[in-house]
Amino acid sequence: MTLGRPPKEEDVRLAYLLGVRGAATLIAAAAATPQAGIHTLLPGAFARNRAVLSQHEKPLTAQQALAGLKARFALEIAQTEAAQRYAEGAALSVSPGNSSDRVR
């Protein structure tokens, strides 16, 4: 299965968590059989990642699992990018030659 588009960072993280085949299976199932249980689609991945693939001890559906994981990854990516921008800004404010850093 191909995505039909370049993979986004969320897709890469999904493949890291579930494996390439698992990610492809989940993406296809979310489109074709959205109510299929993640525990039946990917029993091994479900067993290893029960905390993120279930809610109130009930397995998520394919659609719920994909939406939840993509939302989680998008948040992590945004937080990482914000931290990087902050660090870059802090580095600029203390760069050599910045008059605010000079001892008077």
Q: Specify the pLDDT at position 84.
A: 84
Q: Specify the pLDDT at position 4.
A: 76
Domain chopping of the chain, boundaries: 9-91
Model confidence pTM above 0.85: no
pLDDT band for position 1 (50/70/90)?
low
Q: In Å, how far are 16, 66, 71, 77 from 9, measured between CA atoms?
A: 11, 14, 12, 8
Q: Specify the pLDDT at position 55.
A: 94
Instruction: Judge whether residue 66 has pLDDT over 60.
Output: yes
